[in-house]
Amino acid sequence: MAKDNDCIFCKLANGDIPTNLLYENDLAAAFADANPQAPVHVLVVPKDHYANIIDGIPADVLAAMVDAVDHVARERGLDKAGFRTIMNTGEAAGQTVNHVHMHILGGTSLGEGLL
Ligand code: 5GP
Ligand code: ZN
Instruction: Report the separation in Å between the CA atom of 95 and the middle of ligand 1, taken as the mean of its atom positions.
Output: 9
Pocket probe for ligand 1: among 43, 55, 103, the residue whose CB has the most ligand atoms within 8 Å is 43
Task: pLDDT band for 1, please (50, 70, 90 cuts).
Answer: low
Q: Region 70-92: what's the mean pLDDT?
A: 97
Helices (H), the chain: 8-13, 59-75, 78-81
Is residue 113 pLDDT above 70, yes or no?
A: no
Is residue 88 pLDDT above 90, yes or no?
A: yes
29: buried, middle or exposed (CB in 10 Å: 19+, 13-18, 0-12)?
A: buried
Determine the pLDDT at residue 112: 78
pLDDT tens digit sequence for 58-73: 999 999 999 999 999 9
pLDDT tens digit sequence for 8-50: 999 999 999 999 999 999 999 999 999 999 999 999 999 999 9
Nearest C-alpha neighbor of 53 from the set 42, 65, 36, 37: 65
Total number of residues shown for the chain? 115
